[in-house]
Amino acid sequence: MSEPTEKQMKHRFRGFLPVVIDIETGGFNAATDAVLEIAATFFTLTEQGHLAVSHSIARNVDPFEGANLEPSALEFTGIDPENPLREAVPEAIALGDIFSEVRREVKDKGCTRAILVGHNAHFDAGFLNAAAERCDIKRNPFHPFSHFDTSTLAGLAYGHTVLAQACKRAEIEFSNSEAHSADYDAQKTAELFAGIVNRWQDLGGWTWPAIAPTEAG
């Protein structure tokens, strides 16, 4: 089977654009606990059809009115929601900025919609969707229930599900002191995802189709 002359992102994941989302929160309950940081990291394709990390957008977020903040969660992340140096913005502005960039990337890559990539993706997706509902955002650019979970993929590829340990086994530099920042964790999750996808391709598990598949259903 011959390869197409140009490899395009829209042909790699049945029309979906993978976007890493990492969210740092004030607890584990998406309905009641605050979103404190959110970051999105994007990908591009090399001429060889490999995923490469492109760029990121990150926002510090003010807790929504009445949000719960668990002391144990704040201790874990090291986030001080009251610190004015955070330059935090309301949820609606943060999500608006993130979603606008996601929509632009989806359009530029010729994809139909975005698909969330996350480490324990159900956690980030839950908080993202809850925040979008609170902000009455009607056009969420992400698929409503499909995700790529790097915890699962890392367990398969490297035998470990913890982000720091999976990165170590993948020979990706990881700083524990910078971890639990949404921007940093999104970047490392993107590097991990790209490495697994690219290795799978190099091993022959994925070959580019000669004829582009139809749009995602």
Q: Which residues are catalytic?
A: 180
Contact 77, 180 (CB under 8 A): yes
Closest Cα partner for 64 from 138, 136, 135, 140? Answer: 135
What is the CB-side half-sphere exposure of residue 151 using CA atoms within 13 A? 12
Rounded distance, CA 154 to CA 160, Å?
6
Burial of 179 (0-12, 13-18, 19+ CB in 10 A): middle
Contact 130, 31 (CB under 8 A): yes
| Nearby residues of 83 by Cβ (< 8 Å), 6 or more positions away | none
Rounded distance, CA 8 to CA 20, Å?
18
Question: Which tokens is 146 given?
Answer: 């499909």
Rounded distance, CA 116 to CA 16, Å?
10
Residue 57 phi/psi, 5° resolution? -135, 135
